[in-house]
Structure 1
């Protein structure tokens, strides 16, 4: 019986150590789809965009369609809180087991996506066909070709790497007690946007407590933040950016503005003009690109691993585009008024996901869907430690205690969407 099935379709089996092993994920994915004759909706990635779409799907859709999700990880992480993981402010609150968040009728497959073609998704352990594809594979580090940055700098681009940064920083500071190498106490953050500012501020506060506990002279800690543009937090007006800079300096952070990085070395950063900032730990927060799977998927034209989409989240210059949705950090959606891409933010990803849920319902019900996606950037708040923040609300500046309370509330909204009232108090 086993060999007749293998002869019938070898892709449902794989050879391991000279033993024929059934590929259960692929077998049930394919057979279930054929037997039930339902539309197959395949989600890729478990970030903000895809999860916000999945959470917004009506229950009745799962009776009409076979919904599957492929993700590298068995968990979801709250990306805008990863700086707290890296700094040691809060390691656990940003991580969620994935299965309890999903409708039980979703077929979850933990696997690594390698490539996407027009009718299949290829993973490490199999291949999956679909009727509708929703791709939200997230982002990766973009170093803009700066020499040495890829090799020597760490990046807060996922939960595991945030934990790695945490481990590297605190191990080096512990090692200093034996080696007395003061360069181990020097940490440089490259990029003065939201991620860089939030991380270095959080780290500054955590290191003060840690040094007291470990009886290490905190005055020897050197934290640097480097920004190429005229000011840190360039999305804000200058007055707000100055408030943020002054707050960082009060926390002991050296802020370098108008400082273009030429090269990253193992023990420091070389700036345009010849200045060298010594540091044995270097963190890159200055740029992201789409997931590398996108540039490996040549059926979908992309720029920096981001697929440009139209107002329905369908890829441009692709045949039968209505069966594909690209959302989140691996998509590129332009402001129709300026023809410039919106920056890839959590706010944009969440709204794209909610929009796609409506489009999927119409597709499954075979109804015409004419509503175009539109986006107006809302509130943006940057925390500078756990007791201060700066930002804009309804395009008006805000700072201080009220701003940090708003920042916490914004973070809690996603947690509430994931877990209900339990998530709000996590």
Structure 2
């Protein structure tokens, strides 16, 4: 090796260990060469970080509590159950394994299920926690309320701490399991549901407190400290979700949107919606995750679809004397439907999923769509579902990375497909690529 070279060693170890970089230089580098080396070093570290994140599992614990029988009818909420289901469906669609609790979630049920969830978290994983319901702030600590919380009066703060769920304890439990990234999303900044005694209340009268997350935690709140989060817009609100969650779900699906941009975009969009009422609701996020600008919950933005060169045209019988006439297509292959424009903008619709009709046309010449972006270190399969939804219908079967199928049509982000073996169902379009060549089945 020439003397003017500085060797560097990049050691990408399993996900529970950090990336190690070692090297030495016996001389100072010219300014231009040093800058180039620093850029390359940064790119190598960034690639290693992305590789490490892709190898980890992604798990989510989603809770929606709308009924509080001990607090009276005024404490009931309209949207948390629908909010939790919408978030769960979206997270499952972008590759999370989701545990969902909704409606009447008691403290015991919550703790049992959350403990089982935490046991699934492995070193290096990404763990997301979402809660919609009531919450209170006591002396700077935020508590989430299960459905069986008793009516607590001023002076009974110790009872409140015992029967409620401390947000900090939940995130700490996930960090203790070795999660590399913990995302806490709290839509509980509503009016304090406990009775008042004169001017006294149990905790803040509305909203939650500003808290600094621990290392490795990204926190996103539906409203700023002491603010009230709207359960719905006044009048005839067409959305089934709260003001915060409807925006959060929409932005959560965007590939390439990193954690910081997710927090800022959600904040800006919620502020615009709340101002139409008018109401002041400014979501807040706090970040203690290293490399948050390189972490996207929906995955990286899809790269442009590479062009697929068509196979050479088969010679006609007249041009090739003695050649056999090509066999007719099987009767089970339907006519090619007309191409349909994607229902999502090009920036968010994965270019690897062709327009409807195109994969079917490819299938006639032996090219098929197939699953992409699966996690070899995780489940490594794509669900074939009976309906175009992650929460409705049933999973028909698991499609591995070598599964081949034809796209018949599209509904939103879902693709209707037919496997080469004849089974039909729905798969999520973000995990479909084209094309692979294979012989047609008889």
Smaller-chain TM-score range? Answer: under 0.3
TM-score normalised per structure 1:
0.24
For the pair shown, which has the larger CA radius of gyration, 1 or 2?
A: 2
TM-score normalised per structure 2:
0.23
Higher relative contact order (CA 8 A, sep 6+): 1
User: Could you say which structure has the higher helix fraction?
Assistant: 1
